[in-house]
Amino acid sequence: MTMAASNGSNGSKGARASYGKGQSIGNGNGKISPMAEASALAQQVADGQGGGVRADAPSPVEADVDATLGVMKSAVRELLVGVGENPEREGLLRTPQRVAEAMRFLTQGYNQSLETLVNGAIFDEGHNEMVLVRDIDLFSLCEHHMLPFLGKAHVAYIPNQKVVGLSKLARIVEMYARRLQVQERLTRQVAEAVETILEPRGVAVVVEATHMCMVMRGVQKPSSWTVTSAMLGVFQDDQKTREEFLNLIRHQPSFH
């Protein structure tokens, strides 16, 4: 079950939508990621389809990274012209480079994989009680306006013998947040990733975020925030388990 609620803590008022289980852990839109495309291009060059390569030339991957950075820089330059700025003015000279690098950082999740980030940190502990990592800060970009949305994620699961290194839950959030996203898909992808790596008895993910596209522009509602949840397995089937999770994420820890 997934759930989304805006402007309040009572998620039951929100619209509900159901998603099938076992969806692929891709970038969610069925498209090849820019980095995958970049790797394919680099491979072509490595395979000799990209013309001769000088001995002192940058490696194919480096060359390709430079090429995509160049494309991004020109696009930023055009944006500057579009907003009526002069890209040659001193303060803006390095702006295309900075923006391109910032965008690359903010979308680095396209370049990561679940397998690499988990790095085998799955332990057979025989622990079968709820594990919850809450208040995981997240920063993402909405795919509609490419403006930030930011907030917190809470990720819980009930193991079926296997547990994962705690930091890996935060890394999973990070991998999916560092892409162009909608909050609902981000929430669902995190839940499905935990399900994939651990096959636990259940997974629950709640994301609370505020969207700059609703704050700084458009409807301009600075106090609004959106809550989305994805509940799988026992969190979906058993109301008591779901309530225990919701109580735990409401409780303020004493060290705060």
Ligand X SMILES: Nc1nc2c(ncn2[C@@H]2O[C@H](COP(=O)(O)OP(=O)(O)OP(=O)(O)O)[C@@H](O)[C@H]2O)c(=O)[nH]1
What is the 3-state secondary structure of the chain?
CEEEEECCCCHHHCCEECCCCCCCCCCCCCCCCHHHHHHHHHHHHHCCCCCCCCCCCCCHHHHHHHHHHHHHHHHHHHHHHHCCCCCCCHHHCCHHHHHHHHHHHHCHHHHCCHHHHHCCCEEEEEECCCEEEEEEEEEEEECCCCCEEEEEEEEEEECCEEEECHHHHHHHHHHHHCCEECHHHHHHHHHHHHHHHHCCCEEEEEEEEEEHHHHCCCCCCCCCCEEEEEEEEHHHHCHHHHHHHHHHHHCCCCCC
For the packed helices 95-106 and 60-82, what is the interaxial angle rounded to 10 degrees? 120
The residue among 80 and 182 lying less far from Zn ion, judged by its C-beta, is: 182
The residue among 5 and 130 lying less far from ligand X, judged by its C-beta, is: 5
Task: Tell me which amino acid residue 65 is.
Answer: V
| 213 labeled binding residue | yes
| 127 labeled binding residue | no
Q: Interface with ligand X includes 187 (CB under 6 A)?
A: no
Catalytic-residue membership of 144: yes
Q: What is the smallest separation between the CB atom of 48 and ligand X, expressed in angstroms?
A: 43
Q: Interface with Zn ion includes 217 (CB under 5 A)?
A: no
Q: What is the smallest separation between the CB atom of 219 and ligand X, expressed in angstroms?
A: 5
Q: Interface with ligand X includes 218 (CB under 6 A)?
A: yes
Q: Choose, from 108, 112, 145, 161, the residue flagged as catalytic.
A: 145
Among 219, 223, 239, 251, interactor with ligand X by CB under 6 A:
219
Q: Interface with Zn ion includes 170 (CB under 5 A)?
A: no
Q: Choose, from 183, 192, 195, 208, the residue flagged as catalytic.
A: 183
Q: Interface with Zn ion includes 186 (CB under 5 A)?
A: no
Q: Interface with ligand X includes 144 (CB under 6 A)?
A: yes
**Under a CB-based contact definition with an 8 Å cutoff, are residues 210 and 196 in contact?**
no
Q: Interface with ligand X includes 183 (CB under 6 A)?
A: yes
Catalytic-residue membership of 211: yes
Residue nearest to Zn ion (CB): 213
Q: What is the smallest separation between the CB atom of 151 and Zn ion, expressed in angstroms?
A: 14
Catalytic-residue membership of 78: no
Among 60, 168, 178, 184, interactor with ligand X by CB under 6 A:
184
**Rounded to 5°, angle at Cα 157 from 154 and 161:** 150
Given ligand X, Zn ion, none, residue 184, with its beta carbon under 5 to 8 Å by kind, binds ligand X
Question: Where do contacts with Zn ion occur on this chain (CB under 5 A)?
Answer: 142, 144-145, 213
| Residues marked as catalytic | 142-145, 183, 211, 213
Question: Where do contacts with ligand X occur on this chain (CB under 6 A)?
Answer: 142, 144, 182-184, 211, 213-214, 218-219
